[in-house]
Amino acid sequence: MFTPVSYELNMRVKWESSHPSIVTFGDGASGRFAHGGDQNINHINISKTATPGTVVTITITSVPNPSAKHSFSFTIVEMPDGFPAITQDPVSVTTTAGRTATFSITATGDNLEYFWQRKNNTNPSWENVEVYAYPSYTVTATSDKNGYQYRCRVSNRKGDAYSNPATLTVTP
Q: Is 18 exposed, middle or buried (0-12, 13-18, 19+ CB in 10 A)?
A: middle
60/83 Cα distance (integer angstroms): 28
Average confidence score pLDDT of the chain: 77
- Domain identity same for 58 and 129: no
Report residue 91's pLDDT band, with 50, 70 and 90 as the boundaries: very high
| Residue 162 β-bridge partners | 153
What is the extent of the structural domain holding 166?
85-171
Looking at the domain assignment, is residue 1 inside a domain? no
pLDDT digits (tens, 9 = 90+) for 18-52: 766 666 665 544 344 444 445 555 556 666 666 77
Three-class SS state of 128? strand
- Domain identity same for 70 and 98: no
106/114 Cα distance (integer angstroms): 11
